[in-house]
A and B are shown apart, each in its own frame.
Chain A
Amino acid sequence: ADGLEPNSYEDITQYNNYYEFGTGKTDPARNAHTLTTSPWTVKIDGMVDKPGDYAMASIMEAMTIEERIYRFRCVEAWSMVIPWNGFELADLLGMAGVQSGAKYVAFETANRPDEMPGVRFPALDWPYVEGLRLDEAMHPLTIMATGIYGKPIPNQNGAPMRLVVPWKYGFKSIKSIVRITLTDQEPPTSWNKANAREYGFYSNVNPEVSHPRWSQASERMVGGGLFAKRQPTLMFNGYEEEVAALYEGMDLKANF
């Protein structure tokens, strides 16, 4: 994405939704320091050739880190531009060897009541889980982020490794991943479990499909100040050219 002016490091790391550390926007930055992110192990299992517990350090060794400046659109109708550092999810899945029958990828966030004060209250059904169709997961825009602005990703942003799917609402981009499972069934996703009427499995950014409680036609750009004008929201968050083909022939109003 060219011509995008990234938000400041402070905006990106002090304004977060990460309910495991509290539901307020500043709670994660205040509380997430308690999360132990090293050592870290990611279990990759299900329909893969090489299932097992992968040490985060060995994943980092095997992957080539690059920068991706992406728009980030929250389902709450605010947005940012974030310079992520990371690698394509396809490369990680390639390392584990995806078997031919796999159709979906399921993800799971760490669930540690001792380190995550928010999971002591059932704001959601913990642990946080998310999922993608395999072709979405293999898309070159889909990355695992391990850094922001060239620095290791802060805990409140999903350390040590989080998903980033730039054409979907932010909650799809699951944080602090401990498990990745290849499956042939559509996996459950946290917000869909909490309220299926409001949050679908796909959750592609779509200005024409409003959230039942608010319009998604426009967004407030974080960092614009009190009097900033709302900006129109772009189809697939501006990545229509790259990803529209994934959904050809699908009714996006029904599959929201």
Chain B
Amino acid sequence: MDRIRDQINATARRVPTWAVYILCLLPAPYFFYLAVTGNLGPDPVKPLEHKYGELALQLLIAGLCITPLRQHLGINLIRFRRALGLMAFAYVTFHLLVWAVLDVQTLGRVVEDIIKRPYITIGMAGFALLLPLALTSNNYAVRKLGVKWRKLHKLTYLAVFLGGVHYIWLVKGIQLEPLIYMAVILGLLALRLRGRKPSRIAA
């Protein structure tokens, strides 16, 4: 186990962070291309919208894994957390743009949907929470905000949770996939609650 951990850590140190940005960004044009060329089925707007939304959730969840991986398994991927967070924000934005521009299509109805449809309101709230986090994801803001930065970025927890609720709420009937996402999100958030006690004692 220790050898595997050391190997992962050694490999991770050699991966430049820009590679993570590129890797995370590639699916965006790829799925857009599939949609334009008719390879996402005859109604490509919805699959593209959903794909971007799913990728956003997956990246947010990946970001939530960084701390527990280090605390519980000693795997240090903290260098990539900013990239994962910013890329998650990018996909939430793509998701929102496809929904507003290609799906709903008119500004009046976009506003109406945000106000009148609770699952969309919740999704927008998640996006709104991520916005200040994306804007402060640079070295200058980290230095400037200091302790406040850590507190501010705990908003991620709420944003991911809202994303999970948004997904459960939008499907028809009872579907397994959004429930699995929610279980994973709640599990990762629960690890934080447990992880806090010892650090308090230490402090």
Contact = CB atoms under 8 A, between A and B. Distances in A.
B199 to A, nearest CB: 41
Interface stretch (B20-28, B41-49, B152-160): B41-49
Interface residues of B, number: 29
B38 A225 contact: yes
A59 interface: no
Contacts, number: 63
Contacts of A11: 42
Interface string B100-140: 00110100010011000111100000000000000000000
Contacts of B38: 225
A78 interface: yes
Given A26-B41, A215-B109, A226-B102, A123 B48 contact: no
A19 B174 CA distance: 11
A226 B44 contact: yes
B170 A213 contact: yes
Contacts of A25: 41, 43, 47
A166 B175 CA distance: 27
Contacts of B41: 14-15, 25-26
B183 interface: no
Contact of B173 (A15, A19, A220): A19
Given A19-B173, A23-B171, A124-B173, A213 B117 contact: yes
Interface in A69-108: 76, 78
A130 B176 CA distance: 24
Contact of B113 (A8, A214, A230): A214
Interface residues of A, number: 30
Interface of B: 35-36, 38, 41-48, 102-103, 105, 109, 112-113, 117-120, 169-176
| 7 A-B pairs closest in CB distance | A11-B42, A123-B173, A222-B43, A223-B42, A226-B44, A222-B42, A226-B35
24 contacts: A7-B42, A8-B42, A14-B42, A15-B41, A15-B42, A23-B172, A26-B41, A78-B46, A121-B174, A121-B176, A122-B174, A123-B173, A123-B175, A124-B173, A213-B117, A214-B113, A217-B109, A220-B45, A223-B42, A225-B36, A226-B35, A226-B45, A227-B102, A230-B105
